[in-house]
């Protein structure tokens, strides 16, 4: 351990001893390049750097293994998997995001991975149980996606403008229950002893800090057969800072996200 040698006993990944030691740091503060068709991928507000996903995938898999993302967006996970010669399966409810992912792969001359469009809860039935080596996903933001959906609907349908209020928004409880339902089903696709990593950002909303990472971790602890193993922090130094509460109140500039790590027993 601590050496630059790869041990044949390593069952988890292809890292050498010193790479393994570095990979266990609980804070990721490496600067990730703004590349790989960033402008195209930025049409999706929540895209993750493919190289960050690649780094995480390399900690939990070996070459050729299979990664699943039930909320793939424009494909941070899938692109990361292609970069390090892993196979991947991605699902998203919005066709447009999958199309952008395919376009980016074409432009970057990367393998186009297996994708499905639809509600993960249903699509996951197509994937064989215990067939996947790692899950890397980034859950849809609590109420943000439905807020966006409502806005888009209002843009194209003027008669519904007056309906733009909070009534259609998903409550936090509903969001947590949906995430638990989909992630519990996703877990069944994992082989025993394999890992699941979930990106989740905390949120400051309506003058209150919502520790969504802790709330989601607690909710996921209800899933039988899944044990939480770590809470990694990804510090994103590319985020611009704004002066929110000055000069009267402290309001955090959110430049980090959590990556919750679970293992299937």
Ligand X SMILES: C[S@@+](CC[C@H](N)C(=O)[O-])C[C@H]1O[C@@H](n2cnc3c(N)ncnc32)[C@H](O)[C@@H]1O
Binding site for ligand X (CB under 6 A): 44, 46-48, 71, 73-76, 91-94, 97, 119-120, 138, 140, 145
C-beta of 20 vs 257, nearer to ligand X = 257
**Toward ligand X, which CB reaches closer, 13 or 47?**
47
CB of 11 to ligand X, least distance (A): 27
Residue nearest to ligand X (CB): 73
Using alpha carbons, list the distances in angstroms from residue 72 to 52, 76, 103, 168, 184. 15, 7, 14, 24, 17
From the CB of 236, what's the least distance to ligand X, in Å?
Answer: 13
Q: Are 114 and 175 in contact (CB under 8 A)?
A: no
The DSSP element (H or E) to which 180 belongs, if any, is: helix 172-189
The SS3 of residue 79 is helix
For ligand X, give the closer residue by CB, 61 or 120.
Answer: 120
Complex with ligand X: residue 20 or 76, whichever CB lies closer: 76
CA-to-CA distance for 127 and 48, rounded, in angstroms?
Answer: 24
DSSP-assigned states of every residue in 42-76: TTSTT---HHHHHHHHHHH--TT-EEEETT-TTTH
Least spacing, CB of residue 245 vs ligand X, in Å: 26
Task: Report CA 132 to chain centroid distance, whole Å.
Answer: 16
Strand order in the sheet with 66-69: 27-28, 226-235, 256-264, 190-200, 132-138, 66-69, 87-92, 114-117
Q: Which residue, 3 or 42, has its beta carbon nearer to ligand X? A: 42
Closer to ligand X at the Cβ: 71 or 262?
71
Distance of closest approach, residue 8 Cβ to ligand X, in angstroms: 34
Structure tokens at 148: 């966006």
Please, what is the minimum distance in Å from the beta carbon of residue 81 to ligand X? Answer: 12
CB of 23 to ligand X, least distance (A): 20
């Amino acid at each position: 351990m601590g050496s630059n040698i790869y041990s044949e006993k390593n069952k988890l990944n292809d890292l050498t001893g010193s790479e393994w030691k570095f990979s266990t740091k609980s804070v990721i503060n490496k600067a990730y390049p703004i590349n790989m068709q960033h402008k195209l991928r930025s049409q999706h507000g929540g895209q993750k750097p493919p190289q960050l996903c690649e780094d995480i995938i390399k900690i939990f898999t070996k070459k050729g293994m299979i990664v699943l993302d039930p909320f793939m967006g424009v494909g941070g996970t899938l692109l990361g998997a292609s970069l390090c010669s892993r196979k991947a399966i991605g699902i998203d409810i919005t066709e447009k995001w999958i199309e952008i992912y395919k376009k980016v792969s074409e432009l970057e001359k990367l393998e186009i991975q297996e994708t499905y469009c639809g509600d993960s809860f249903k699509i996951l039935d197509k994937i064989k149980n215990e067939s996947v080596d790692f899950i890397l996903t980034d859950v849809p933001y609590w109420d943000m996606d439905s807020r966006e959906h409502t806005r888009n609907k209002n843009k194209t349908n003027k008669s519904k403008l007056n309906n733009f209020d909070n009534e259609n928004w998903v409550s936090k409880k509903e969001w947590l229950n949906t995430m638990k339902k989909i992630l519990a089903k996703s877990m069944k696709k994992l082989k025993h002893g394999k890992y699941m990593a979930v990106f989740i950002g905390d949120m400051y909303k309506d003058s209150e800090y919502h520790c969504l990472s802790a709330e989601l971790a607690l909710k996921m602890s209800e899933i039988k057969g899944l044990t939480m193993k770590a809470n990694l922090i990804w510090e994103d130094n590319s985020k611009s800072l704004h002066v929110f509460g000055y000069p009267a109140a402290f309001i955090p500039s959110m430049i980090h996200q959590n990556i919750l790590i679970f293992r299937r027993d």
